[in-house]
């Protein structure tokens, strides 16, 4: 068969199942055990057996530091399940956490695998312990640790956290467009009101704007509630060949288009425009690969490792103009679950449902498209048929446009 350079090849892929392990603030479980729980749940959800899985893809692969950032690598899972794989992949240098899923779509489209198990496993909650994030900073603030790699350019300036890096993007957006903390707050408040009815969410108590402003500052303009909550848990999705999915348990979720690009310098502080991120490029690429428009999207599940990243995705994906995400989210009406034009982060995002790191958004998009979201299911004006799952920030961003027939 001749290669058609104009084919949107990701459409040969679909999502056939999703699954999650137990999720908690601190589960103190063996991370590989937790990983396998999530993986087996997804395989079962698709109606597949373990022996059907012939590909594995994960983000970021095995990493010792930061503690808890990676619960298992691809080899861990291939070996633990005694898989025979035609293709596998892991790595940090890809288009955000969902870059691993985009890669899996390309692998099944190319015929290297039929059913790829994709997963993201974290145990940052347990690994950080009671001391929280300060317990896992590079070098721990003592000894002879020396900064190298990209950290050479931020650690000596006491800027070890993406909280600070993203806060500087937000501050620039505030300056350029008049964005305010009252607007930013609605990312956190919307997440919380959705988490209230998600039994798997970490934080479910109601949160008010007053609560938001009473929270301690982390790094201006971010307060505590602008930062996601570290947790333990594994999310897995099965990416299958579309032409092998019709006999499976569930109707396949189509991959209409993906976005994986980075056109600026692949750096947090050298990126060409400090009021945008690589999501600008990934989202622009996505819309070149489909006839659908932003106005066709009925659900957005967009990364909120820090609240501002979600606003940045809303602009990048064209749901409002550049610089207009503040007014777009203010008051929370447009992003509300059943009355908004763009229901957002319906599971509670990482801000309230836990830092499952990118995959939680894809999981929720699929659950909503399958109408399996229970009390939090979007039903008005209808069960969504077109959704975007978007993850990552800074120099590492990727997104998928998903459809139900």
Partner 1 sequence: MTTTEPPFRILPRVTDRNRFFWTGGEEGELRFLRCQDCGYYLHPPLPRCPQCRSKRVAPEAVSGRAHLATFSINHQPWMPGPELPYVVAIVEVVEQPSVRLTTNLVHCAHDDIQIGMPVRVVFEHHEDPDGDVWIPLFEPDPEA
Q: Which residues bind partner 1 (CB under 8 A)?
A: 133-134, 137-142, 145-148, 152-161, 163-165, 167-169, 171-172, 175, 216-222, 269-270, 272, 274
Which has the closest alpha carbon to 122: 366, 360, 304?
360
Minimum distance of partner 1 from residue 277's CB (angstroms): 13
C-alpha torsion angle, residues 205, 34, 16, 113 (rounded to 10): 150
Of the pair 164, 351, the CB lying nearest partner 1 is at: 164
| Residue 393 near residue 405, CB atoms below 8 Å | no
Structural tokens at position 294: 């932003």
Sheet containing strand 232-241, edge to edge, reads 87-90, 55-58, 115-123, 232-241, 13-20, 253-259, 396-403, 386-393, 299-302
Question: Of the two residues 163 and 197, which places its CB atom closer to partner 1 in the complex?
Answer: 163
Say if strands 115-123 and 232-241 run parallel, antiparallel, or are unpaired: antiparallel
Closest to partner 1 by CB, 8 vs 135, is 135
Q: In the complex with partner 1, which residue's Cβ is closer, 311 or 367? A: 311
If the CB atoms of residues 171 and 325 are measured against partner 1, the closer one turns out to be: 171
**Minimum CB–partner distance for residue 58 and partner 1 (Å):** 28
Token pair, residue 352, equals 């309230």
Closest approach, Cβ 86 to partner 1, in A, equals: 37
Exposure of 193 in the CB half-sphere (CA atoms within 13 A): 16
Distance CA 387, CA 362 (A): 9
Whether residue 277 contacts residue 153, with contact meaning beta carbons closer than 8 Å, is answered with no
Distance CA 404, CA 386 (A): 7
Burial class (CB in 10 A: 0-12, 13-18, 19+), 244: middle
Nearer to partner 1, 146 or 249 (CB): 146
Please say whether the beta carbons of 109 and 13 come within 8 A: yes
Q: At what angle do helices 162-177 and 307-316 cross, to 10 degrees?
A: 50
Q: Which is nearer to partner 1, 188 or 248 (CB)?
A: 188
Smallest separation, CB 203 to partner 1 (Å): 19
Q: At its nearest, how many Å lie between partner 1 and the CB of residue 144? A: 8
Of 28 and 265, the one with the shorter C-beta distance to partner 1 is: 265
CB of 333 to partner 1, least distance (A): 29
Q: Which is nearer to partner 1, 28 or 263 (CB)?
A: 263
Shortest CA distance to 127 belongs to which of 216, 25, 214, 259?
Answer: 25
Which one-letter DSSP state was computed for residue 227? B
User: Minimum distance between the CB of residue 136 and partner 1, rounded to whole angstroms?
Assistant: 10
Query: 122: which strand partners?
Result: 233
Spatial CB neighbours of 108, under 8 Å, sequence gap ≥ 6: 12, 13, 55, 114, 115, 116, 239, 240, 241
Min dist CB 262 to partner 1, Å, is 15
Closest distance between partner 1 and the C-beta of residue 270, in Å?
6
């Amino acid at each position: 068969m001749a290669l058609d350079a104009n084919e949107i090849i990701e459409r040969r892929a679909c999502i056939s199942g999703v699954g999650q392990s137990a999720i908690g603030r601190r589960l103190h479980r063996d991370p590989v055990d937790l990983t396998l729980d999530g993986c087996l749940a997804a395989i079962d959800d698709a109606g597949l057996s373990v022996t059907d899985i012939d590909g594995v893809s994960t983000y970021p692969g095995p990493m010792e530091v930061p503690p808890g950032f990676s619960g298992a690598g691809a080899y861990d899972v291939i070996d633990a399940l005694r898989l025979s794989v035609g293709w596998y992949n892991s790595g940090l240098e890809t288009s955000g956490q969902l870059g691993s899923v985009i890669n899996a779509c390309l692998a099944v489209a190319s015929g290297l695998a039929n059913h790829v198990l994709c997963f993201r496993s974290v145990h940052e909650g347990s690994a950080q312990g009671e001391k929280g994030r300060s317990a896992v900073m590079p070098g721990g603030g003592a000894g002879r640790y020396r900064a190298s790699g990209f950290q050479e350019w931020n650690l000596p300036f006491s800027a070890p956290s993406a909280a600070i890096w993203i806060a500087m993007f937000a501050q620039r957006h505030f300056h350029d467009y008049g964005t305010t903390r009252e607007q930013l707050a609605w990312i956190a408040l919307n997440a919380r009101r959705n988490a209230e009815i998600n039994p798997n969410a970490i934080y479910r108590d109601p949160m008010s704007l007053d609560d938001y402003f009473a929270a301690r500052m982390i790094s201006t303009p971010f307060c505590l509630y602008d930062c996601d909550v570290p947790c333990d848990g594994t999310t897995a999705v099965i990416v299958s060949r579309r032409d092998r999915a019709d006999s499976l348990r569930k109707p396949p979720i189509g991959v209409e288009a993906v976005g994986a690009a980075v056109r600026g310098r692949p750096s947090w502080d050298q990126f060409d425009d400090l009021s945008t991120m690589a999501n600008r490029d990934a989202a622009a690429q996505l819309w070149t690969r489909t006839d659908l428009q932003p106005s066709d999207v009925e659900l957005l599940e967009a990364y909120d490792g820090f609240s501002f990243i979600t606003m940045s995705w809303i602009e990048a994906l064209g749901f409002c103009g550049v610089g207009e995400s503040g007014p777009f989210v203010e008051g929370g009406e447009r992003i509300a679950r059943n009355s908004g034009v763009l229901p957002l982060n319906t599971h509670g995002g990482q801000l309230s449902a836990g830092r499952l790191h990118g995959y939680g958004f894809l999981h929720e998009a699929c659950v909503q498209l399958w109408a399996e979201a229970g009390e939090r299911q979007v039903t008005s004006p209808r069960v969504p048929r077109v959704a975007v799952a978007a993850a990552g920030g800074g120099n590492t961003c990727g997104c998928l446009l998903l459809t139900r027939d």
